[in-house]
Structure 1
Amino acid sequence: MAADADDQHGTQPTTPTDQSTSDSAKPRWRAMFGSLAERNYRLYASGQVLSLTGVWMQRVAQDWLVLDLAHGSPTALGFAAALQFIPTLLLSLWAGVLADRMDKRKLLLVLESVLGLCALVLGLLTVSGTVALWQVYVLCFALGVGTAIETPVRQSFVVEMVGKSQLTNAVALNSMTFNLARMVGPAIAGVMITAVGSGWVFLINAATFVGVLGGLWLMDTKRLYLPERVPRAKGQLREGLRYVSKRADLITLFALVFFISTFGLNFYVTLALVARNVFSSTASAYGLLSTLLAIGTLTGAVLAARRSGRGSPRLRVLLGGALVFGVLEAISGLMPTLWLVGLVLIPTGAAMLTFTTAANSTVQLSVSPAMRGRVMGIYMLMMLGGNPIGGPVSGWLAAQFGGRAPMVVGGIIAVLAACTGGLVLAARGKYRIPLFRARPTVS
């Protein structure tokens, strides 16, 4: 099968050139939602809206449950976050190998069922009043195992639903879906925790997985853009690592993603600490901060979807998004009131989404289809694998220097990482720093 096998659309083959041409002729609002023309992607996206809302409800409720059981300890919250992300360090690379070898749709059916079961168990324990901190820790680890395998598979499955020509648009729409859920979920969770308790939030999340499973089950497999599946063989993980080791641009991008994600994208820890420990507020305040951040990320996703018709994201967008994100995160950590923190979180979220969408699309569009699963496994390792470090570090910083410290330090590290990444790419001829462009000579 040819190298562009992932763009063979059953009995209706299309090419990126044809798709780009047709997109340019569409009204901008239709081009912005171009990937939804694919029935399989519509099924996937509709299930994700429901499920991700439940996931964000659970994240808020789980963080608050840990703080309640641990009497407000930031270290306990950081440890719970670390347990949830440690499996990423151990399993992401192997998950990428599985993604290249196996039917991603069938694999996702199994993995989403496991994640839903974890939410169900936590909900039953909490509603029955028997939940203990150690049980939450065990379930955090179990969720981490499922997520570590599911995420690279799900990320690399997107291109099989929409093809390469619509990948950037689909990634942006995924971000819109994610952030709609991120905006609605925490707000619902904040109200529900106060009204009926955390347990019912977990049970509702378990029920929402029916939407994801139903969407995957109803897909028309003949309309998937399937690449040639990689046969099982020894050394495939090492082969993926060697592939990345020869790509200086990927190494630089992965390093940038690692530092920003590890120290800058710890909002699941930092916002809870700011709400409870800095401003002595309730779960509703935590939900409010999460919602305002999600408004910003949703705005960034809409802008990314509008830009998607212009081709692959430019490095200037990626580096600029990282730099602006770091500056704004540090500023938000210094704001004197809860509402001012929330207002600054809106543009912070937009910059964060600009960076993450550009990074995801750049990686997927720049690698061989046969390597996409393994490369995305490495990418997700860089994106999530630092959380076992970042979570405890954020908790330690908050305990030693106050609840604002993790956001300020994380923002500074993001700025330094963006500047360093730009300089490295410029030195290798991959990026031209605007300040140092040669001026045209006048004859």
Structure 2
Amino acid sequence: MSIVAEKHASVFRSLKYFNARLFFAGLLLSNIGSWLQLTASSLLIYRLTGNAADLGYNVAFQFLPMLVMGTWCGALADRHNRRRIALISQAALAVQALLLGTLDLSGVINVPMVYALSLILGIIGAFDNPARRGLVTELVPQVDLPNAMSLNTAVMTGSRIFGAAIATALVGPLGTGWLFILNGVSYAAMIYGLTGLRKTEMYPAIMRPAGGSPVREVFKYVAGNRRLLTMFLVYVAVSTFSFNFGVALPKLADLSWGDDRAFGWVMSVIGIGNLTGALLTARLKMVSLRWFVGNIALLGLASIGMAFSSNVWLAFLWSIPLGVGGAAMIASGNAISQQESPPDMRGRLLALTAVAFLGSTPIGGPITGLIADSISPEWSLAYGGVVALVCAAVAAIAWR
């Protein structure tokens, strides 16, 4: 077998397992609904206030629980039944979406209500994220785990293609309220996928024994692994400042590209790049640090290019490499964390990557919004690209 053949394998090899097919099908439909809500909520707040900073505050409320509770919730997922936790949290997420839609359709919605419901969304998500992502590790054997994690990223980010496009097309005739309702209904697909998993075909996780200091243990493990430590430090910095598209793009679309709805179309094209980047990563049997760093650099260059695009067509061109770099970085981080971890710590390390990626948003989101309002919409996106390029250079030097 050639070196290339050993390094690469079927992009969709995890789908030969029934449980993986069922889980990812439900996840795809559910996440299309989630992108409906994410796109609609950004448009709703921007149209209510016209300020990018308010978008930043909203994502801060949404992801603050992940920063505060994420690692603890990961320890919980390592100790208890992940499918049961995911079922409960998915049902709770559906209720949140239906409540938001009802308040919007009734005409009483305002910014404080959106903030409050975003906080509730974040609390539920802090429990759901490590349990649902940890469950992926039980769908396939160890040899196919990097592929399954990359396909999970492909579904999570690639569903943006359809979700953002549908939201942009329907927000005019239906309004944002019905988009929230559609998201609530879409959780039925994920709940069906979870209930239909065949227990006899699962690859059960090794449960962490009771007692000890699970959160302290995972930090100690990362600190003692130079590859993981460097990856997480870079992951935190890039995630904090370079992924705030939902904050930067609505105002950039409105002022530079002529229509705030261009935000949704650009997000949809980014989704095409996301799907490509995640699937390219899924081809790798082992994900290297070089792949991780190279895609951070691609993300940085594309962010700067999009920021200074004079029209939406140029923005579309930059959206593809931006999406490729962003999704490949996320998929690489997830895969490397699993490659480097023992089975009983995978849930906690997945939670830690979620804390690094999502939990940093309460810091980066408001900063990005303030830059958009006080300096320029262009620099609210471009500064994140500069940060990504610097991080890629630092990581390349550190791993030499």
- What stretches of structure 1 of length at least 5 have no aligned partner? 1-19, 427-443
Which amino acid in structure 1 is aligned with residue 215 of structure 2?
L
Give 1:67's aligned residue.
46
Among 211, 228, 244, which residue is 2:189 paired with?
Answer: 211
Q: Distance in 1 between matches of 2:83 and 2:16?
A: 19
Q: Distance in 2 between matches of 1:49 and 1:326?
A: 27
Among 151, 154, 161, which residue is 2:132 paired with?
Answer: 154
Give 2:274's aligned residue.
297
Residues 268-324 of structure 1, C-alpha deviations (whole Å, 9 max, x = no match): 1122121123333132x111111111111122223223x23xx21111111111112
Give 1:436's aligned residue.
none
User: 1:52 and 2:26 equivalent?
Assistant: no
Which amino acid in structure 1 is aligned with residue 289 of structure 2?
L
**Offset of 1:246 from its aligned partner?**
1.2
Give 1:15's aligned residue.
none
Of 194-203 and 416-425, the range deviating more from structure 2: 416-425
- What stretches of structure 2 of length at least 5 have no aligned partner? none
Q: Is the 8 A contact 1:48 1:212 kept in 2?
A: yes
Residues 96-139 of structure 1, C-alpha deviations (whole Å, 9 max, x = no match): 10111011111100111111111010011111111121111100
Give 1:176's aligned residue.
154
Give 1:396's aligned residue.
370
Matches within 5 A, 1:333-348: 333-348=307-322
- Secondary structure at 1:160's aligned position in 2? coil
Which amino acid in structure 1 is aligned with residue 229 of structure 2?
I
**Offset of 1:365 from its aligned partner?**
1.3
Q: Is the 8 A contact 2:256 2:310 kept in 1?
A: no
Q: Is the 8 A contact 1:297 1:353 kept in 2?
A: yes
Give 2:61's aligned residue.
83
User: 1:409 and 2:383 equivalent?
Assistant: yes
Residue 282 and residue 235 in structure 1: after superposition, are their counterparts in 2 closer, same or farther (change >3 A)?
closer
Q: Is the 8 A contact 2:59 2:365 kept in 1?
A: yes
Q: Is the 8 A contact 1:164 1:365 kept in 2?
A: no
**Offset of 1:393 from its aligned partner?**
0.6
User: 1:186 and 2:154 equivalent?
Assistant: no
Give 2:351's aligned residue.
377
Q: Distance in 2 between matches of 1:278 and 1:415?
A: 24
Flag as ranges the 4+ runs of structure 1 deviating above 6 A.
none
**Offset of 1:141 from its aligned partner?**
0.5
Which amino acid in structure 2 is aligned with residue 407 of structure 1?
L
Give 1:435's aligned residue.
none
Q: Distance in 1 between matches of 2:46 and 2:312?
A: 19
Give 2:328's aligned residue.
354
Percent pairwise identity? 31
User: 1:418 and 2:392 equivalent?
Assistant: yes
Among 38, 48, 51, which residue is 2:17 paired with?
Answer: 38
- Secondary structure at 2:70's aligned position in 1? helix
Give 1:287's aligned residue.
264
**Residue correspondences, number:** 397
Q: Is the 8 A contact 2:257 2:310 kept in 1?
A: no
Give 1:230's aligned residue.
208
**RMSD (CA atoms):** 1.7
Q: TM-score, normalised by structure 2?
A: 0.95
**Offset of 1:176 from its aligned partner?**
2.6
**Offset of 1:37 from its aligned partner?**
1.1
